[in-house]
Amino acid sequence: MAGVVSCVLWFAGLLLSLQNAFVVMPKGAGLVLTTPSFRVGAALIFVVAFAVAIDVGRFGGRRAFLYLGGGFLGLAAVSLFASWLFSLDILFAPIALAASLSAAAVQIKRLRERDIELTEKLIAASAKFEAVPAAEAESCLLRGLQLLETVLSPSDAVVFRLDGDGRLTSSARLRPNQNGSLDTSRNSVWRDGLSLCQRAIAAKEIIVEKVEGETTDERIALPLRHEDRTVGALLLRVTKAFEDDDRALLNAIAGQMARNLQREETHKANAKRSSLAFFSANHSEKRLESLYVLSGALTEQSVGISTLSEVGDGVALGYLDGRIAFANKALTELAGIGQSDLPRITFFDLLDRFRTDVFDEPVIAVRRVLQTGEAYERELDFSDRNATYGLRISLVSAGSPAQPLCLALVIKDLTLLKEYDRLKSDMISLMSHELRTPLTSINGFAELLAADDELPASAKEFVTIIANESQRLSRMINTFLAVTKLQRKDRQEVLKIPLRLDEVVKEIIVGLQPTAKKRRIRLVERPTQSLPPVAADKSMITQAVKNLVSNAIKYSPERTTVTVSTALEAEAVRLSVEDRGYGIPAEARDRVWEKFYRVVREGQEKDEESTGLGLSFVREVVEQHGGTVDLDSEVGRGSKFSFTLPRL
C-alpha cells in the first residue's frame, strides 16, 4: 500500500518539487534530466518499500531506524551525484516516501499486534483471578447490601455506577418491603440523593446529611473507589444516627462493590472489542480498566496469604531462586529470627535453622522434593530446646500442565503432643504390667484347681470358667497393647539396614514349616535371582511377612499350597503370599487392612482367637518403610497378599 500511494503521487506529479530538491544540474550544460520509465520506477519503489518492511518487521523500529537513516542519507547523496554527473533522476523522493510510509505502516502493525496480545493476556489474567464471575456482579452487589442491612439496618440502599459520560445510573437496590423480599425497581425515589452522591464523589469521602422533615433519618453517600479510581457511589438511608465507628465497615464494603462494578464493566467492554481498538482512546481506557480489575482480583486472592499469618503453625513460602516469598510470625519465632531479617536471608538459610541429626542436609531434601514432586516430612528433636517439631517441605504447582511455582515449608510444634503421648505410653505400660501380674496368678491357680480330680463337679465348672475368662482377658490386654504399639510406630526405634527379602522368606519358611505340615499345608518358596536389597528394619519386616504367611496357613484348607514369592518391579521389590483358600468377598477387601476387622465366611462365626490386627500391622509397617500393600482375591479360589518396598 505504501508503494501504491507513492507511485500514484509520483505519477500525478505531486512530488515534483520534492524531487527537484534532490537533483543538481550543472550550469550551462544544456543537458536534459533523464527519468526512469514508470515500470522501472514503480519496480524500484516497490522493492525498496518491501525491503524496508522486512527490515522493520525483523529488527523493530528502533534498530531499523539506524539502518534506514543511513540508507536515506546514502540514497540522497547518490541522487545528487547521479544528477550532477549523469543527468539521471533516481526517484529519491518517491522511493523515500514509499520507504517512510512502509516503515510507519509496519511499525503500527507491530504495535497493534503487541497491543492485541497484551490485551488478550490482560483479559485472560483478569478472568483467571476473578473470585466471582462477572455475570453475577449484580447479585454480588445485592449480597453486599444485605451485609449492610445486618449492621446498619438501612431503610433503603442503592448502588450507582458512573457511565461513560460521568453520569450516575442505578445498578442495584435493596429495599426491604413488608414481606421481607427485595425490591430492585423504582429507582426514581433516589433522584433527590444524586447530588449528595456527586458531592461525595467530588470530596472522595463519606457525606452524611439529615433528611428534611425527618427527626432521625439520615442519608449517607460514599464513593465506590478502588486503586484511587471512582466507579460509582452508594446511597443509604438509615433510621438511626450514623456513628464514626461504622466508617471502616462502609469503606471496606465500598471497595468490594467497586471491584465488582469494575469487573462487570470490563467484561462487557472486552466482549465488544473492535479491530480498530488500538487507535481508540476509549478502548485504551477500557484496557486500563482491565488492569484495575486484575489488581482488584489479586487483592482478593491475597486473602490466602493473609490467612496464613493467623495460622498457629509456622508457614513459609520460598521461590525457586531461593527468595522467601512469605513467612508468618509463628515460623520466625520457631526459627529464632525477626521479621526484619527475612529480606536478608534465603529459603535455604531458613531451613538451616532446623538442622538436626535426621535433617542435616536441607539442600538434599529440597532436591528430592523437586525431583519427585512428593512432600518431604521429618520429625525433628531438639534436645537443647527440649522441643520436637514436625517439618514438611512440599512443592506448590499451578496451571495445566502443572508448573512448579514455589516451595512450602510447614513447621508444627509437637512438643506438647509428644509429652502427652509419652505420659499415655507410661500409663499404658504401667497398667499392662499391673494387670498382667494378677491375671497370671488367677489363670495359673484356676488351671491347678481345674486339674484337681477331687474337686466337686460344680466347683470345677466354675473354676474352668474363671480360667477361660482370665485367658480371654489376657488376650484382650495383648490386643490392646498391640494396637498401642501400632499407634506409636513413629516412636519405635527403626533401624534400617540393607535387607534381602528372599533371605527373610527362607528364615520364615523354615520356622513355619512344622506348623504347615501339622495342618497338611504345602509351604513353597519361589525366589527371584539377583534380587536387590531394600532399606528396612529386619525385625519389623520379618514380623510382617510372618503375619502374612501365618494367615495363609491358618485359613487354607488341608492339602493346598501356600506360595511365597519375591520379584523386582522397576524401583521396588515385591513380596507376595498366595494361597488356595476360601478367598475374600469383594466388599471386605478394602477393610481387611483395618484394625479389629475380621472376615466372616458364610455359615461360620468369627475366629475368636484372632485379634484382627495382623494385616493392620503389616500395612502400618510397610507404609512406614515407604511401601504399599495390595490384595488380589477371588472367592473360592484363594487370595494373594503382597507389598512393595523401595529398592536400594
Model confidence pLDDT, tens digit, residues 329-343: 999 999 989 888 888
Q: Give the strand pairing for 168-174 and 403-413.
A: unpaired
| Distance between CA atoms of residues 290 and 286, nearest Å | 6
- Mean pLDDT, the chain, integer: 79
CA distance linking residue 41 with residue 98, whole number of Å: 12
CA nearest 411: which of 382, 459, 379, 435?
379
Across 27-36, 198-207, 445-454, least confident range: 27-36
Report the pLDDT value the prediction gives residue 642, as an integer from 0 to 100: 93
**Residue 337: strand, helix, or coil:** coil
Residue 560 burial (10 A CB sphere; 0-12, 13-18, 19+): middle
**CA proximity to 576, closest of 633, 644, 516:** 644
Sheet strand arrangement including 572-578: 522-526, 561-569, 572-578, 638-646, 628-634
Q: What is residue 509's predicted lDDT score, i.e. its pLDDT?
A: 92
pLDDT band at residue 131, thresholds of 50, 70 and 90? very low
Provide the residue type at 13 as one letter: G
Cα torsion at 98, 103, 105, 111 (round to 10°)?
Answer: 180
Q: How many CB atoms lie within 10 A of CB 359?
A: 19
CA-closest candidate to residue 137, choices 168, 184, 172, 113: 172
CATH number of 304-413: 3.30.450.20
What separation, in Å, do the N-terminal and C-terminal C-alpha atoms of the chain show? Answer: 71
Read off the pLDDT of residues 594-617 as tens digits, 9 standing for 90 and up.
Answer: 877 777 665 445 455 566 777 888
| DSSP structure class, residue 190 | G
Mean pLDDT to the nearest integer, 528-556: 88
Neighbours of 267 (CB within 10 A): 19
Each residue of 276-298: pLDDT tens digit? 565 555 566 666 666 666 666 56
Question: Could you give the percent of the chain with pLDDT greater than 90?
Answer: 11
Beta bridge partners of 219: 209, 237
Per-residue model confidence as pLDDT tens digits over 33-81 = 777 888 888 888 888 888 888 888 887 777 777 777 788 788 888 878 7
Residue-wise DSSP of 110-163: HHHHHHHHHHHHHHHHHHHH-SS-GGGHHHHHHHHHHHHHHHH--SEEEEEEE-
Q: Which residue has the cell 511377612?
A: 545
% pLDDT > 70, the chain: 79
Secondary structure element (H or E) that encloses residue 326, with its range: strand 324-327
Q: Which three cell numbers stand for residue 193?
A: 440523593
The model's confidence at residue 389, banded by pLDDT at 50, 70 and 90, is very high
Of the CA atoms within 13 Å of residue 24, those in its CB half-sphere come to 9
Please determine, for residue 352, whether its predicted confidence score (pLDDT) is greater than 70.
yes
Cell numbers for 512, please give them.
513355619
pTM value surpassing 0.85 = no
Q: Which residues pair with 638 in a beta bridge?
A: 634
Does CATH place domain 497-646 in 3.30.565.10?
A: yes
| 348 neighbors 366 (Cβ within 8 angstroms) | yes
Instruction: Count the Cβ atoms, other than its own, within 10 Å of residue 146.
Output: 13
Report the DSSP pairing between strands 522-526 and 561-569.
parallel
- Sorted by sequence, the CB contacts under 8 Å of residue 145 that are 6+ apart come out as 157, 159, 172, 173, 174
pLDDT of residue 338: 87
Write the DSSP symbol of residue 581. Answer: S
Region of poorest pLDDT, from 379-383, 479-483, 637-641? 479-483
Greater pLDDT, 112 or 279: 112
State pLDDT tens for residues 147-178: 666 667 787 788 888 877 778 887 777 665 44
Compute the distance between CA of residue 329 and CA of residue 293 in angstroms, rounded to an integer.
31
- Spans of all domains in the chain: 2-127, 134-301, 304-413, 418-491, 497-646
pLDDT at 188 over 70: no
The answer to whether 342 and 314 have CB atoms below 8 angstroms apart is no
Asked if the domains 134-301 and 304-413 are classified in one and the same CATH topology, the answer is yes
Enumerate helices (H) and strands (E) in the chain, giving the number of each: 17, 17
Query: Which sign does the torsion angle of CA 422, 424, 426, 429 carry?
Result: negative
For residue 531, which of 504, 549, 510 has the smallest C-alpha distance? 504
pLDDT tens readout for residues 193-239: 888 888 889 888 898 888 776 667 888 888 988 777 788 888 888 88
Per-residue pLDDT band for 394 (boundaries 50, 70, 90) equals very high
**Phi, psi at residue 262, to the nearest 5°?**
-60, -40
CB-based contacts of 336: which residues, under 8 Å, 6+ apart? 353
Question: Does the pLDDT value for residue 415 go beyond 70?
Answer: yes
Query: How far apart are alpha carbons 181 and 36 in whole angstroms?
Result: 85
Bridge partners of 406?
A: 319, 396
**pLDDT band (50, 70, 90) for residue 302:** low
Q: What pLDDT, on the 0 to 100 scale, is given for residue 6?
A: 85
Name which CATH class applies to 418-491: mainly alpha
pLDDT at 179: 44
Average pLDDT over every residue of 516-531: 88
CB distance 261 to 224 below 8 Å: yes
Count CA atoms within 13 Å of residue 618 on its CB side. 25
The CATH number of 134-301 is 3.30.450.40
pLDDT at 574: 92
Q: Look at residue 391 in the predicted model and tell me its pLDDT.
A: 94
